[in-house]
Amino acid sequence: MELNSTPAVAIRPVASIITVNTNEKHRMLLYMPSVWASRGSFEILISDNGSTDGSVEYIEANFPQTRIIKNGANLGFAAANNRAAEQAQSEILVFLNPDTTVEPDWLEELLKPFSDPAVGLTTSKLILMPDPAHLNTCGNDVHVSGITLCRGMGKPRENYAHDEDVAAVSGAAFAIRREIFEAVGGFNEAFFIYMEETAMSLEGQLRGWRCVYVCKSIVYHDYALRFGPRKILFQERNRYMMLLQIYRLPTLMILLPAFLLAEIITWGFVILRDRRNWQNKLLAYAGVLENWRSIRAKRLLNQAQRKVRDRELLAITTSRLDFGQVTRGPVALAAALIFTPLFGLFRLVALALVRW
């Protein structure tokens, strides 16, 4: 296999591919040869969160051209990516999950839209690795309540056959201009994990940049919906923080009915699917208070740099929640019939009232 072995010091790479590793040797066995076989000019940086499974030694022995940032401890997804971004040499930062493999031309395709100076972020077509006939996601949908879902999950891979603007990138495989990454302050380290890419997508669009799904950038993702003991805590806390950091106060007040309805849904989900960890919802509320200074600082930054109105951000959201991604049968059908029209109404009212 011919690898991209040009020393980074000799030729400035077009893109810097950044991946966080936390004891992922079993994934690196597939990931490393796949990504190094990509076409184009690039460097690969592995930000290692104190791995003890031999993954760092494996990379050093078999792919010595890889740059490894040894964090010494688990800094979380956000901070680990930021540490690597600080050392990256290119103006395009590409963030790629370790549980992926790629088509050889995925990177070249992912970078093509940047020829348009208005494009700030791009995201790949993610195929389900265990079921390659079907999609994982083609960019992400952002609900009016801030809940983020895979776009096209489970549909035939032939779907979404054209490039188009999307509400958010998928954190599993996306690229961003360094100037945007630095303008927003990098990944929000207060998040630790989850929702970082949604926040960054909205913050980029708040500053006037386009977010584009690239249909020919093919990445295979070993994805399955999983719930660790603290996932709801991080997802819910970070959703609240994201909304508080992006929207103006009058917008938040107008959206309050949608937020309250989302609370009914998320509490119902916790009771049905994650009852053992129900206290995580309460911890998410507490987490907002604990991070209030961080929220306020990020909010001031976003408002100072905004170039578009809240109305434009609301316009890219959806009123539909794909309940089929988390549950099946009559429950999903009933939830869709009850809640989708209500969210649709709240969104229409917000669009009618929000002129700023």
Please give the Cα distance from 35 to 16 (Å, whole number). Answer: 12
Q: What is the mean pLDDT of the chain?
A: 94
Q: Rounded mean pLDDT of 143-155?
A: 96
Count helices and strands (H / E) in the chain.
13, 12
pLDDT at 9: 45
Rg of the chain over all Cα atoms, to the nearest angstrom: 20
Contact 92, 176 (CB under 8 A): yes
pLDDT at 5: 46
Q: Rounded mean pLDDT of 118-136?
A: 98
Kindly state the helix (H) or strand (E) to which residue 346 belongs, with its residue range. helix 330-353
Min mean pLDDT across 61-65, 237-241, 330-334, 349-353 is at: 330-334
Within 160-278, where are the H helices? 178-183, 196-206, 231-246, 249-254, 256-273
Max mean pLDDT among 6-10, 169-173, 220-224 falls in: 169-173
Confidence of residue 215 (pLDDT cuts 50, 70, 90): very high
pLDDT at 42: 98
Amino acid identity of residue 47, one-letter, is S
pLDDT at 269: 87
Q: Rounded mean pLDDT of 70-80?
A: 95
Confidence of residue 44 (pLDDT cuts 50, 70, 90): very high
Pairing type for strands 135-138 and 92-96 reads: unpaired
The residue length of the chain stands at: 356
Please give the Cα distance from 355 to 344 (Å, whole number). Answer: 18
Contact 217, 124 (CB under 8 A): yes
Confidence of residue 325 (pLDDT cuts 50, 70, 90): confident
Please give the Cα distance from 211 to 213 (Å, whole number). Answer: 7
Amino acid identity of residue 278, one-letter, is W
Q: Rounded mean pLDDT of 74-100?
A: 97
pLDDT at 274: 85
In tens, the pLDDT along 233-246 reads 999 999 999 999 99
Exposure class string for 195-212: b at 16+ Cβ within 10 A, else e:
bbbbbbbbbbbbbebbbb
Cα angle value 106/81/226 (rounded, 5°): 75
Reply yes or no on whether the pLDDT at 207 is more than 50. yes
Amino acid identity of residue 38, one-letter, is S
Nearest to 246 by CA among 299, 210, 291, 204: 299
Kindly state the helix (H) or strand (E) to which residue 48 belongs, with its residue range. strand 42-48
Q: Rounded mean pLDDT of 334-345?
A: 93
Question: Under DSSP, is residue 265 helix (H, G, I), strand (E, B) or coil?
Answer: helix
Share of the chain above pLDDT 70, in %: 96
pLDDT at 2: 42
Q: Which residue has the higher pLDDT, 224 or 258?
A: 258
Confidence of residue 227 (pLDDT cuts 50, 70, 90): low
pLDDT at 68: 98
Cα angle value 70/174/73 (rounded, 5°): 20
